[in-house]
Each structure stands twice: as C-alpha cells, then as structure tokens.
Structure 1
Amino acid sequence: MTVSAVSSAYGARAAEYIAAFGDIGTAQEKDRTAVLDWARGLEGHVIDVGCGPGQWTHLLSTHGVEVEGIDPTPKFVAAAQQRHPAIRFRIGEAERLGVDNASLGGILAWYSLIHTDPALIDTALAEFARCLRPGGGLAVGFFEGPDLAPFDHTVTRAYYWPLDLLCGRLATHGFTVTTKTRRRAPGVRPHGFITAEMN
C-alpha cells in the first residue's frame, strides 16, 4: 500500500475513526502512562507522526512537551487543528518529516507504521534517524505478533511485527532500544511498544 492509498482509505472513514478514537480517553491508561513516561525524558521539539485527529499530540502538549502533529490524511489534519487550535498540525508522512537533520528531540509513531510494507519500512526508520538529534527519543506503538505477517485491518491491510525483529531494524539505523514490551489479551490484537534512543 502506498502512503496515498492508506491516506485515501482513512479519509473515507475519517468521521468514523474520529468518533471512535479521537478522544485520548479511549486509549488504555497504561499506554498513556508509557508514552508520557517516555516523553518526560525528551529535550527539544517532538513530532507526533501519523497524528490522526491529534489526541496523542494534545496529550503531550498538555504535559509541557513542545510538539506538533503530522499526518498524510487532510481530513485528520483539519480535524486536529480545529479541535486543538493552539497546536501546530500539518500534512506530512513518516518517510518525509520536512525538518532539518538532527533537529528533533523526539518522534512518537503510535500505530503510524502499521500499514507500511515491511520491505519499505526502512525508509521511514532512516528518516527518523536523520531527523533526531543524538540522544533523541523514538517511541513506536504497533501490532505485535510471533511472525511478520499481514492481516485485514478495518481500514486497510496492516502488519504484525515480532518485537525483536522490529528492534533489530531500529538497531540497523543507529538506535539503541531502551524499552520493549508486549501485551496480549483475549479478544484484542496483541500490542507492542518500543522506545529507543538515537546514537
């Protein structure tokens, strides 16, 4: 799936997605805590990649993080800006963040790489590495599984990533993994969370 195709798929269901997930209260408390714990150790500007309607961007902002949100779906960017006018939102994508080399203190990629073809994910990870300053932080939320495998997501095809395999990909781009966790529960897709520091 191309970025344009994924954006179109989300644009067609933007209102439904915003109603279901646009409030940060729909996220699990343990996930909100994990992201905030990561963010407290950052210094400098942070980008929320694939920000959707801006719920995670707003959470970070309310805790004193200098953050902006980017998303390839214009309807999400418009909704995010309307809902959170004090925060900057713009159209953008993981593969092209639109910032200078080593200029960021942190990047949050909360379920924003789940639709990226595994053969192409290194493009996004290389861009993250280019944009983060040494010591900058990366946090990635994703669907975790025992095998790298596609599945039929509600919006469009997505992928399960084994925790250690994604950690290995990050290492090839100069990241040191600082935490890695998985969560599995009946009736929900398994969750993975990785934080890493740029060398």
Structure 2
Amino acid sequence: MTEPAAYLTATAEAYDAVADLYADLFRDSLGRLPLDRAMFAAFAESVQAAGAGRVAELGCGPGYVTAHLRDLGLDVFGVDLSPRMIELARAAYPDLRFEVGSMDALDLADGELGGILSWYSVIHTPPRELPPYFAEFRRVLAPGGILLLGFYEAEDGPVSEFDHKAAPAYRWPIDDLAELAREAGFTEIARMLREPLEGGRFRQGRLLLRRK
C-alpha cells in the first residue's frame, strides 16, 4: 500500500485537532450565506437534470453541507481525510454515509457518480499536485456529471500560499483553476466571485463544471 503524501497526513492531523471547534463554529453557517445556498441549489438541479446518479461531497468535514445537499433531494455521501471529522459527521447525521478517504484515490468505480462537491477541499493541495485530483474527479464522474468547486481566489495572481488556520492552503486565480479543469476534461457552466464577509480576508470563488 502506498504511503500518503506528507501534506495529506499533515492536513488530516490538523483537521483532527480542530474538528470539534470547527463543527461548533460552522454548523449553522449556511443560514448566513445566501449566495452559497444558491450555488448548492444550482448544483443540485444540474445533477438532477443530468440524471447521472449519486453525489459525493469530498472534504465533507462535519457533514452539514452533505446534509444540506440531502435536503435538496440528492443521494449524497461524504468523504474526508480527517477521522475525527467523520466521527462528528456520523454522530450528527446518522442517516447519511460518511467515509474516511482521500480525494485523489477514491474507492469508486469509473463513472459511478453523478456529481462531486469539493467545497474548500482542494485548497490544501499544492498546485503541482492538483492535476491528478481533477483526473480522479473525471474518472469517477459519469459523462455529463457535475463538479462544483469552492475555493479562495487570488485576485491579482498567481497561485499563492497563505496561512490558513488549519493547514497550509492556496489561493487560485479563477481563470487558472478553470483552465486546469478544462485541461482535465471539464466544461465550465458558471462561475461566481463573492467578496469576503466581515472579518474575512480573501475573495471567494465558485466554479460549476460538467464532465465531457
């Protein structure tokens, strides 16, 4: 069995350490984020229109977004690197499936999914390591499947590392991330840029994509 990359181990350990605090802080956060809810609704409707199957939230944390997608009518499950995050998600939402795993090596068949949500989970991947993640997303998505990415945007470019509170993370110019997805076999459907909330530091990006 191949040993996980050092940054994956470090990220999992970092989120294990803050998992309980993270769950408490963000459990009810969607009520304050109408634009995010709008993107989730667009994602859900796009998956349902494609009729391509179940959905995975990759980097699901304590599971509150996974549960929101369930409430939008999706057949959804969650995957996260952090065992403690998965424990919290299972306890909070016992009716949903949650698994420990890595986005770059999913225990899924080719074309098994109709949709993937990666919400601020690719941000911890070093830029040179990100293309294989997009290749894995494409592998497990059925043709026409939908991918929604949430990330921090680098307004002035290029890709830049910043001091995320949990683990090292990266901001991406939205055009650069869209191009990386295009090279991996995705077509852009829509994009959004949201200014930081009060107390936030960075503009935030969303890309809604379709697997060719």
TM-score grouping bracket, smaller chain normalisation? over 0.9
Sequence identity percentage: 35
Tell me which residue corresponds to 1:88. 97
1:191 counterpart residue number: 204
> Is contact 2:10-2:167 (8 Å) kept?
no
Write the deviation string for residues 110-166 of structure 1: whole angstroms up to 9, x where unpaired: 001111000101111110010101100000000001221001011121111000000
Match for 2:165: what amino acid? T
Structure 2 residue aligned with 1:180: 191
Gaps (5+ residues) in structure 2?
Answer: 1-5
Q: Which amino acid aligns with 2:7?
A: T
Give the C-alpha shift of residue 22 in structure 1.
2.5
**Do structure 1's residue 170 and structure 2's residue 170 form an aligned pair?**
no
State yes or no: 1:150 paired with 2:155. Answer: no
2:28 is aligned with 1:17:
no
Cα distance in structure 1, aligned partners of 2:14 and 2:24 = 16
The Cα of 1:26 is off from its aligned counterpart by 5.5
Pick from 27, 30, 38: which aligns with 1:33?
Answer: 38
| 1:154/1:180 CA distance change after superposition, 3 Å | same
How big is the shift at 1:24?
4.6
The DSSP-based 3-state class of the residue aligned with 2:25 is helix
1:57 equivalent in alignment to 2:59: no
Q: Distance in 2 between matches of 1:26 and 1:74?
A: 26
Instruction: Output the TM-score relative to the length of structure 1.
Output: 0.96
Q: What is aligned with 1:78?
A: 87
Separation of aligned partners in 2, 1:101 and 1:58: 25
**Aligned residues, how many?**
199
For residues 153 and 27 of structure 1, what CA distance do their matches in structure 2 show? Answer: 21
Q: Give a deviation string over 1:27-46, Cα, whole Å, max 9, x none.
A: 51210121122111213110
- Cα distance change on mapping 1:155 and 1:27 into 2, 3 Å: farther
> Does structure 2 conserve the Cα–Cα contact (< 8 Å) formed by 1:24 and 1:56?
no
User: Is the partner of 2:123 in helix, strand or coil?
Assistant: coil
Measure the CA separation in 2 of the matches of 1:25 and 1:159.
Answer: 23
SS in 2 for 1:120: helix
* Cα separation, partners in 2 of 1:15 and 1:93, compared to 1, 3 Å: same
Aligned-residue Cα RMSD (Å) equals 1.3
Q: What do the CA deviations read for 1:7-38 (whole angstroms, capped 9, x no partner)?
A: 10110111111111133535512101211221
Q: Does the CA-based 8 Å contact 2:116-2:148 persist in structure 1?
A: yes
TM-score under structure 2 length normalisation:
0.90
- CA–CA distance in 1 between the matches of 2:207 and 2:90? 28
Pairwise CA distance, 1:187: 4.2
Bigger proportion of residues as helix: 2
- Gaps spanning 5+ residues in structure 1: where? none
Indicate if the aligned counterparts of 2:44 and 2:73 stay in contact, CA closer than 8 A. Answer: no
Letter paired with 1:155: A
